[in-house]
Each structure stands twice: as C-alpha cells, then as structure tokens.
Structure 1
Amino acid sequence: MGGVDKQATGKNPGLLFVNSKITKPDEVSDEAYTKWYEEVHIPDIFKTSGISEASRFLSIDPKSERPYLALYPLGDLDFLQTDEFRSIPVHHDSIPGSHAIFDFADFDTRYYKFVQHYEAENAKSGQPDFVIAAAFTPTDDEDYENWYRQEHLKEISGITGWRKTQRYALTFARQNRKSAAEKELDEPPKFLTLHYFDGESLPEQELAGASGSEWTKKQLGSMKAQQMAVFKKLSHHTK
C-alpha cells in the first residue's frame, strides 16, 4: 500500500505526551479521574493559546504500569516553556483532600519534537481506534532513520487498518514521584513512534510479520533502550 509524508503545521511542531496512573484508587476512582480529565482538565488546557487538540487512550494491557495516555499535538513546542502553560490548574474541588491531582495520580510527562508524519493517501479525519507507542534509543541514529524511511514504514503501511505513523524526538521528560522510597524512572528512550490503526482490534499476526526482515531484526536487536505499549481510544477533543 504505502503512504505519503505530510508536513506538520506550526513553526516548531511537537507533541505533549502524558502517560499516567491513579495512585490512590480508594480515593479517586477511574470514573472520577476520567470525569476530571474530560470535564475539567482538557477544558482548562483549551483555554490556553497553545493547545487545541487532545486525545485520551487506555492501555489494552490490564497489568499496565500507567494505563492512561493523553496526547496533545503542538504547533509550537516552545509553548511548553511559557508561564501560560505552567499556569494550567492542577487543583479542583472535585479532587478530595488537598484538591491536587498530583496527590492522587502519577504522571510520566514527555515533550517531543516532530520528526515525520507518514499517512495513508486519502486518509480519513478523526482519531483512529488504536495507537501503538514504540519508543527507542538506537545504537546508530543514521541507520535507524534510514530503516524507518526506506523499509519499516512501507511494511507498517501495508498492515490492515493502518492509517498513519508519527515520529518524534525527545526533548524533555519528568515524573512526579511523591515518595523518596520510589525508584526514579530511567530516562525515556530517545525517539517515539506512534502507529495509528482503525478497526475493532489490531491485526496481531500482520504486525508480528512486520518484524521479520533482516534489517528490522538488526535494529530491534541492537536497541540500547526500547518501550512498547498499545492503547485503545477513549476520546478525542478539539477546541
């Protein structure tokens, strides 16, 4: 099938990536967390000038360390360094006790710079049903880039349900650990790829087949670090 490269909009495009979990489920339920996110937090974010789109996903793995994923495309990555972004409220009366969400949830927050957007020709609009988040630190950045552009994207684009792939490079990461006893997370991998698919489920056999080439085996086998997770769409919002 194949796809086409698309230019990102904005002067310094990027992505705000927020992977989270509830740390006190006896005090803040999944329903309460979702209500805060959907009815309070995203509307607060949309009051700013720098973010106009938000998507929420849930891991398909019931044992996932951080089951919730929020993605915010950015036209200007520099917005994340502004007082306007830092002033987005993290307190609300719907949150018990201190009213601070950081006391009840743990967030793995990452800032990414845009690298590539590759999508199916005549791709439909709206958020796809699934996203595969694949983060890597390769041994050889140049070979990694060539592998993606010359082979891997063509393989992925031929899989049933594929709609688009977006690639990014990490610029910043933090985790709001509350306890000194908790081990700090390792630095996230250097690059992030988001593969988006439509459908009731993912074509597992086809996806497995896309890892069969010698170049792919070489790349995956030599990674210094890698993280992989699959998420199903919960909601998509635009300003």
Structure 2
Amino acid sequence: MPTPGLMFVGSRVLDQSKTSDAKYNEFYNNEHLPDVLKRGVSKVALRYKNANTSSPMPYVALYPLDDASYLQSPDLAKSVEETRSSKTFDNTDIYEHIHFDLRGYEKIQTFEGYGHADKSGKERGQTIVCVAMEPAEGQDQDFEDWYRRQHLDMLAMCRGYRRTTRYKKLDGQKPRYLALHEYACKADELPADQVKQVVATEWSQKIVGESLVFDRDVLELVQAQGDISLNL
C-alpha cells in the first residue's frame, strides 16, 4: 500500500519592481493551481500566506499526494518542465519571475483534535502553525514519543485546535520533520497563552531546547481548489 505524501512549495517574487504581488497571485490562483490539478498531481491544492511579512517564504502551496513516491519519479520532473511557460507572464519562463522551494515529504502521522475526527477539509483550520524540526543527534525516538505521548494531546486542549499532520522529508535533508498544526481561527487569534503552557513542560523544553533546527511559521489560508473536502 502506498505511503501518502506532501508536495510543499514555498515561493516568492524574485524582483518586486518587475512583478507585482497581484500579478504573482493572478498566476498562482488562476493558472498554476488549476494546471497542477488538471495534471492529476494532487486532488486538492491549498495556498497560504505567511503571517511573518519578512519571511523569505511569503507564500506556501500544499499538495497532498496519495503516493509519496511520485515526488522522486520522472513524472514530477516532467510536470515541472511542462509548466514552466506561463500565459500570465506572456509565455516566458516562470522561473524568471518566481523563486520556488519544493520539498517532498512522506506522511507519518495524522492526529485529530477532540471531536473533529469526522470533519472534512471543508472545515479545515484557517491557520496552520508550520513547524520544521531536526531533533538532537540520536534522539529521533524520544522526539517521536514526545509528539505521540504528550505534545499533541496537550495541543488538542488549546482553543481552536483542529488537527496535526506530520511528515518526514524524503531526501533526508535537515530539518527532516514537519508538523502542520491546524487552528480554526485567524493568525492573530491563535491561543498563544495556552500554547506557551504546552511548550513549558520539562519534556517539551528538552526536545525543543536540544533540537538542531526549530523553524516556525504561521500560515493563513488564502486559496483552496480541487476537492476541498479532502484533508492533508
């Protein structure tokens, strides 16, 4: 049975004096997402805007995959090549206008918040707290136990929490682990007071404090296309 995966694509405009944010979003929403869906890469395409305006990754697109092996197949390389020319940019190469950062993951866990196990993607969290981590050397099992035996159970008690979907990078590059925590609120309404208590436990302090990489972004949903009833 194939392992589900995720195509995670961060992107930004290369030169804002030449390409406006409006033009960039017109390309992504009206041309690129429909093209990806038409090719059958994914059944649903989700776009998010980073709440951190100074981030080198101001936008993120998420494409859940039925089979993570697609990310290492010739089919992906072919699809990338065939979508380089853009009508929005007068049939020029999109890589002259936009920088893409594509990362491939396999799914390792889905954790549903209390009372939300039967909710469809139509009720997905408006905001995702995106956490990329690399645990301390030799601490992968302790890291995994922390997530499964404490951290997610405690997060589930926070206001607005919906679910967490966790992934591991296919290419092994650090940080290898990605957690997408969904919340049913806007970015500025996240329960920061409660989350602060969650990460104050002795186990949390050990895992986070000793981690080699801890990157956190807050992403707000701006576009959902395809079968939006599907979850990550």
TM range, smaller chain: 0.7 to 0.9
Deviations 1:123-151 (A, max 9, x none): 23223110011011112000000000000
Aligned-partner residue type, residue 92 of structure 1:
S
1:65 aligns with 2:56: yes
User: Please, which of 89, 106, 127 is the counterpart of residue 95 of structure 1?
Assistant: 89
Q: CA RMSD in A?
A: 1.7
Q: What CA distance in whole angstroms lies between the structure 2 residues aligned with 1:188 and 1:236?
A: 29
Q: By how many angstroms is 1:19 displaced?
A: 1.0
Residue identity in the other structure for 1:36: F
Give me the whole-angstrom Cα distance separating, in 2, the residues matched to 1:23 and 1:215. 41
Alignment counterpart, residue 210 of structure 1, candidates 176, 188, 198: 198
Partner of 2:149: 150
1:106 has 2:103 as partner: no
The answer for the alignment partner of 1:163 in structure 2 is 162
Deviation at 1:122, TM superposition (A): 4.0
SS of equivalent to 1:153: helix
% of aligned pairs identical?
Answer: 29
Segments of structure 1 that go 5 or more residues without pairing to the other structure are: 1-9, 174-186
Other-structure match for 1:128: 125
Aligned mates of 1:122, 1:209 — CA distance in 2: 22
Match of 2:230 in 1: none
- Structure 1 residue 172: Cα displacement: 3.1
Kept in 2, the 8 Å contact 1:48–1:85? The answer is no
Q: Deviations over 1:24-74 (max 9, x none)?
A: 112211111111111111111112233111110001111111110111111
- Alpha-carbon distance between aligned partners in 2 of 1:203 and 1:108, rounded to the nearest angstrom: 30
TM-score scaled by structure 2? 0.87
Shift of 1:113: 0.7
Runs of 4+ in 1 over 6 A off after TM superposition: none
**Counterpart code for 1:51:** S
Q: Secondary structure at the match of 2:87?
A: coil
Aligned residues: 216
Residue 11 (structure 1) aligned with residue 2 (structure 2) = yes
Task: Report the alpha carbon displacement of residue 121 of structure 1 after superposing the two structures with TM.
Answer: 4.1
Q: Where in structure 2 are there 5+ consecutive unaligned residues?
A: 228-232
Residues 165 and 193, structure 1, Cα contact 8 Å, conserved in 2: yes
Distance 1:155 1:122 in 2: 15
Show the counterpart of 1:176.
none
Contact kept, 8 Å, 1:28 with 1:95, in 2: the verdict is no
- Please give the secondary structure, in 1, of the residue aligned with 2:92: coil
1:163-185 Cα offsets, whole Å, 9 max, x none, are 00001101138xxxxxxxxxxxx
| More helix, by proportion | 2
Going from structure 1 to structure 2, the CA distance change for 1:82 and 1:47 (only over 3 Å counts) comes to farther
Q: Deviations over 1:63-95 (max 9, x none)?
A: 111110111111011222334332331211221
Displacement of 1:101 after TM fit?
A: 1.4
Residue 225 in 1 paired to residue 213 in 2? Answer: yes
Q: 2:135 aligns with which of 138, 149, 152?
A: 138
Q: Tell me if the contact between 2:26 and 2:88 (Cα under 8 Å) persists in the aligned partners.
A: no
Rounded to whole Å, the distance in 2 between the matches of 1:122 and 1:86 is: 40
Comparing 214-223 and 193-202, the one that deviates more: 193-202
- 1:236 is matched with 224
Shift of 1:20: 1.2
Secondary structure of 1:172's match?
Answer: coil
Structure 2 CA distance for aligned equivalents of residues 86 and 41 of structure 1: 16
Matching of residue 32 in structure 1 with residue 48 in structure 2: no
CA distance in structure 2 between the partners assigned to 1:165 and 1:131 by the alignment: 9
